[in-house]
Structure 1
Amino acid sequence: MVSSDTETEIEDELGRVPSWIDAIAEPASDHSWRLVRDLLFGETELTPREKGLVGVGAAAAINCPYCTHFHKEEARMAEATEDELTEAVTLASNTRYFSTVLHGSETDLEAFVEETDEIVAYFEEQEAAAADD
């Protein structure tokens, strides 16, 4: 259970204390709320729309219907389109798919990093060449 001060803060921020707060063990409850407050609702480097889209992708990748629902609503409130929500989920599935391939084939991480660095350098060269044209 959260402290009375935290309960008041949650009610002020959300209009109510969600029932799932009670599922968090007391030693972590106030801290858990602060994580939500500061990362989700606080001013950070990401816009609310970006946070919602990241949340949707992560929630879909971990197969969490609770988080998927919450983050879709969060993104919609920040004016993300349905096409953007679909793309976020598709990107997450792409990451999960290739993660499975890379882990299952036991791809060498150092070689992967080197190849990725070469690809990034190639892209940067192509962009520089296009800018010179």
Structure 2
Amino acid sequence: MTKQKTLEDIKETFGFVPGFFEDFKWDDLALSGGWELFKKFELSETNIPLKWKHLIALAAAGAVKCPYCTKFHTAAAELFGATETELQETAYTTSLVGYFSNYLHGRRYPLEKFDEELNHIVKNFQAAAAAGKA
């Protein structure tokens, strides 16, 4: 897509061309490629429903502490139907990943032992599901 067509598509989609896309004008591929990826994976249904996709992205944004991404994915998740409780749970779940990661790294917990324990946990859940208990 040409630079002009890309900018027109962005304007048609958003009602204007946001500055962060305008800033990509230095290179046709950076602009058109970035826009095509953004449009497909941030604004369109793919294998992951849009609400889930933006909750996942919000978790990643929180983990890397990106204020731009956090604002965008919160607004997008809400736009696609996420509730306040789902946003809260997403943030909480993200914090738990960091919590346990920090603890396991800090304790230098053996990865091989963790793998063995994880296999046991998975088998236990599979057995419970097969027995109708999960």
TM band (smaller chain): 0.7 to 0.9
Alpha-carbon distance in 2 for matches of 1:37, 1:111: 42
1:90 counterpart (89, 92, 117): 92
Q: Which runs of 5+ in 2 are unaligned?
A: none
Distance 1:102 1:35, change over 3 A: farther
> Do the aligned residues in 1 keep the contact of 2:44 with 2:50 (CA within 8 Å)?
no
> Do the aligned residues in 1 keep the contact of 2:54 with 2:73 (CA within 8 Å)?
yes
Does 2:41 match 1:3? no
Tell me the amino acid that sits aligned with residue 6 of structure 2: T
Aligned to 1:34: 36
What secondary structure is seen at the aligned counterpart in 2 of 1:69? helix
Q: Which runs of 5+ in 1 are unaligned?
A: none
- Deviation at residue 11 of structure 1 after TM alignment: 1.0
Identity %: 35
* TM-score, structure 1 normalization: 0.85
Aligned to 1:111: 113
Q: Which deviations, in whole Å up to 9, do the C-alpha atoms of 1:92-113 show, x marking residues without a partner?
A: 1111222222333333334323
Alpha-carbon distance in 1 for matches of 2:66, 2:47: 25
Alpha-carbon distance in 2 for matches of 1:29, 1:105: 45
What secondary structure is seen at the aligned counterpart in 1 of 2:93? helix
Tell me the amino acid that sits aligned with residue 67 of structure 1: C
What secondary structure is seen at the aligned counterpart in 2 of 1:130? coil
Alpha-carbon distance in 2 for matches of 1:107, 1:22: 47
Distance 1:119 1:32, change over 3 A: same
Alpha-carbon distance in 2 for matches of 1:29, 1:109: 42
Alpha-carbon distance in 2 for matches of 1:70, 1:121: 39
Q: CA RMSD in A?
A: 1.9
Q: Which runs of 4+ in 1 moved over 6 A?
A: none
Tell me the amino acid that sits aligned with residue 34 of structure 2: S
Aligned to 2:20: 20
